[in-house]
Structure formats: C-alpha cells, structure tokens
Amino acid sequence: MAAGATPTHEEKDTESPKTSLYEGSTQFRHWRFSPEQLRTARTSLNTAAVEAIRNAFEADSAGSSSEVLFLSADEENLLVKLYVSKITQLCGLFRFPEEVEATAMTYLKRFYLKNTVMDWHPKNVMLTALFLATKTTNHPIPLEAYTSRIPKTSPSDVLDLEFLVAQSLGFDFAVWHAHRALWGLWLDIQSLPDISMEELRKAYETALTHVRASRLTDAEFIYTPSQIALACLSLAAPQIATAWATFKQDFAQSSPSSTPSAQPDSGLAAVLEFIKTMILTNGSPPNVEAVREVDRRLKICKNPEKVVGSNAYKRKQDEKERKAEEKRQRKAELARKAMAEGDPFGSELAKEDLDDDDD
C-alpha cells in the first residue's frame, strides 16, 4: 500500500484500554494473514510435501519419481476451491442453513493451510468439514442420515478424518461470518434517514450473492467480516454503502468515548477496493476441466504413505510399530531396574533421564 500513512487508526486503537471482541477471537489471532504470508505458507507446504513424497517414491523403487509431475501450490489451491464450491451443492441437498455452509467452507480452507491435498484428498475432508460444521453451529444431524444421502460414502469416511480436521483447525471452531455482518448492515441501514426500503432490499439480495462469492476467495484470511460485508454492499449499491460509512463515522465522532477524526476514513475505502477486486476476479468456481486435469495428476502423485496397501504405507506402519515397541521395551527396562533397586516407584525423579519422547 501507499506510503505516507495517517496514524488515525493507531490513535483510535490505543485510546480504548479494552480488547475488542473481534480482536480477541481465534479468527483474528490465528487465522489472519497478509497475502504474502498466505502465498509463502502454501508454497512452503507444497515444497515440503513434494520433497517427502519424492523420498517415499524413491524408497519404494529408486528413480521412480523423476517422471512424476507433482502439483504446484496453485494447482492445489484450485482443487480445494472446487471442493469449497461443492459444499454449497451439498448444503442445498440437506437444506442446511447458511451458517453451516459458511462454517464448513472456512474449515475446509483453513485445513488446507496446514495440510496438502497430496496427503489428504479434499473430497473426504470436505465431507468431514461439513459434518463437523453441522455440529459446531448447532445444526446436528445423525451420521447415518448424513452419509446415506451422499453416494459412495460410509460413516467411517467421515469419522476417520474428524479428529485430524479438528486438530488442523487448532480446535478453533467459532467463525465470524461476513453474511452475519451483512445482516447487521441491513438492519443498521434502516436507522439511516430517508432510505428506500425497496432499494435496500434489492441491494441486500445482490450483496448476499457477493458475500457467497467471497467465500471462494482468500478474503476472510486477510480482511475482517465487516469489511467484506461492506465491500459486498458497496458492489451492489455504492451510494448506500457510502451513506452508511459516513453515518457511522459521524456516529463515532458524536459519541464521547472516541476522538473525532478530521477526515473521512481513507484506509477503509482502499481496503474495500481491494476486497471488491478480489471478489470480482476470484469469486467464481474454478473451471471443472482444469480441475479434472489436476485431479488426474493427483492420482499419480498422492503420498504413497497414505495409500492403504502400498509398500510405502506398510513401511510407514512397520516403522511406527517398531518405534512403539522400542518405547515399550525402554519403559519395561526402566521399571525392571526400579524394581531391582527395591523401589517399585522408581528412584527420585531428578536422577531419571527424562523419557518424554512423543515421536
């Protein structure tokens, strides 16, 4: 962004000693990134995964990985985006409310900031994320009822990944959604003087489609839900959005707790422009043909350690088994030694070498 900053925001922030609710949320603390951070995270995740999978291939049979064309970070993202868009179809099938849909989409996107599609295919992760979202947003549905309506899916497909997904999310289940912010806008704009309800209704409808489109983008990782909602409204009805923003600014000035800012909030305007561009350029589902090509290649470059029945999978399991066995033996040895020394509870803690290895 441009240099020559006006320090209005900092002044506002430091003025109130309390932490605002949004800044206390896990969404703000754990899932807020700069565009550069997002890109780096995805690239490094992809590089590490490719490295690991290449090694697995080589371990299976030397030289076999040279022909394989691994997925790039962008291709991975494309695949994820397709499955994010599929959540909408599934929610339509089950008649889940918007809250569930939006939450599941966020979960899926967040999951692939910590994992790669080459390890976990998005199809099952999507089903799990949606099932998890039904529970966290208080719209639970029996697992049987859920899987029986999705073809070629068994309850174990959903449950096997559930803990992994929850863990990747860092158990941050609460999400602040842009559609709720948009609802708030709809309500609050009614407080504006001389507003045409007919116009507002139309603007709201259009803005809602933009909010839905924004879920296919990275907007929620970079901007706050209120900013996204206002940008969507601004796309639909610019003059209403401007009127509301000005109204809010006047409102803030008239209230005694905040310092009056002399000029209109230019920072916000710039932010809104970025979001609008983002929604317009990235807010549509990906081309299915392109994704199909990616998916075809994914079949080849899947992590063999995660494919049940392959040599690498077996080797990985054996390795795990061996490590567990070693650990057990070490423990038994310690216990035996302690018994020999006459104290069944072992000697003093300080003398023991700390055996605290979680592989």
Partner 1 sequence: MFRAPLQRSLAAVSKTRQVGPQNTFQWTTNVRCESCIDRLFTLGPAPCPICGKTLRKLAFTPQTFEDLGVEKEVAVRRRIAKDFNKRPEDFPDLRAYNDYLEEVEDITFNLINDIDVPETEARIAKYKKENAALIELNIQREEQYAQYLKEQEDSERLEREQRAEELRRLDEEEREEREKGKQELIDKLETSDKDAIKLVARARAEAHKRASARIASSNPSLSATNLARARATQAAAMPDVPHVPIQDDWYAYEDKYVVRDTYDDPVSEAVRRDREGIMRAGGYRVEEAWERALRCAIAGLEIPPLQGLHAVESPSPDVVMAVA
Q: Is the dihedral of CA 15, 19, 20, 26 positive or negative?
A: positive
**243-255 burial: b if 16+ Cβ within 10 Å, else e:** bbbeeebeeeeee
Q: How many residues does the chain have?
A: 359
DSSP class of residue 62 equals T
Helices 73-94, 122-136: axis angle to 10 degrees equals 50
Q: Binding partner 1 by CB under 8 A: which of 118, 222, 301, 312?
A: 222
Q: Binding partner 1 by CB under 8 A: which of 121, 135, 202, 248?
A: 248
CB of 172 to partner 1, least distance (A): 16
Q: Binding partner 1 by CB under 8 A: which of 23, 326, 343, 352?
A: 23
Is 143 or 252 the residue whose CB approaches partner 1 more closely?
Answer: 252
Q: Is the dihedral of CA 99, 103, 104, 106 positive or negative?
A: positive
For partner 1 (CB under 8 A), the number of binding residues is 72
Indicate the burial class of 87 (C-beta count within 10 angstroms; 0-12, 13-18, 19 or more). buried
User: How far is CA 96 from each of CA 128, 140, 141, 214, 311, rounded to the nearest angstrom?
Assistant: 15, 10, 10, 19, 41
Q: The tokens of 327 are what?
A: 């650990």
Question: Is residue 230 near partner 1 by the rule CB under 8 A?
Answer: yes
Question: Is residue 32 near partner 1 by the rule CB under 8 A?
Answer: yes
Candidates 30-38, 282-290, 332-340, 347-355; binding stretch for partner 1 (CB under 8 A): 30-38
Rg (CA), the chain: 26
Is 91 or 291 the residue whose CB approaches partner 1 more closely?
Answer: 91
Instruction: Compute the half-sphere exposure of residue 39: CA atoms within 13 Å on the CB side of its CA.
Output: 3
Is 33 or 313 the residue whose CB approaches partner 1 more closely?
Answer: 33
Question: Is residue 64 near partner 1 by the rule CB under 8 A?
Answer: no
Is 117 or 200 the residue whose CB approaches partner 1 more closely?
Answer: 200
Q: How close are the terminal C-alpha atoms of the chain, in Å?
A: 44
Question: Is residue 45 near partner 1 by the rule CB under 8 A?
Answer: no
Is 132 or 182 the residue whose CB approaches partner 1 more closely?
Answer: 182
Q: The tokens of 2 are what?
A: 């441009």
Q: Binding partner 1 by CB under 8 A: which of 234, 283, 291, 298?
A: 234
CB of 251 to partner 1, least distance (A): 7
Binding to partner 1 by CB under 8 A, coded x per residue (else -) over 177-216, reads x--xxxxxxxxx-xx-----x-------------------
Question: Is residue 356 near partner 1 by the rule CB under 8 A?
Answer: no
List of residues 6+ apart from 205 with CB closer than 8 A:
236
CB of 317 to partner 1, least distance (A): 38
DSSP class of residue 31 equals S
Question: Is residue 173 near partner 1 by the rule CB under 8 A?
Answer: no
Cβ–Cβ < 8 Å for 215, 175 = no
Cβ–Cβ < 8 Å for 108, 129 = yes
- Identify residues 255-284 at the interface with partner 1 (CB under 8 A): 255, 257-258, 263-272, 274
Q: Binding partner 1 by CB under 8 A: which of 26, 226, 282, 310?
A: 226
CB of 281 to partner 1, least distance (A): 17
Q: Binding partner 1 by CB under 8 A: which of 131, 224, 298, 304?
A: 224
Residue at token pair 């990906």 = 286
**Does an H or E element contain 105, and which?**
helix 98-111
Question: Is residue 223 near partner 1 by the rule CB under 8 A?
Answer: yes
CB of 279 to partner 1, least distance (A): 14
CB of 89 to partner 1, least distance (A): 23
Cα-based angle 163, 177, 78 (whole degrees, multiple of 5)? 65
Is 186 or 313 the residue whose CB approaches partner 1 more closely?
Answer: 186
Candidates 56-64, 221-229, 329-337, 351-359; binding stretch for partner 1 (CB under 8 A): 221-229
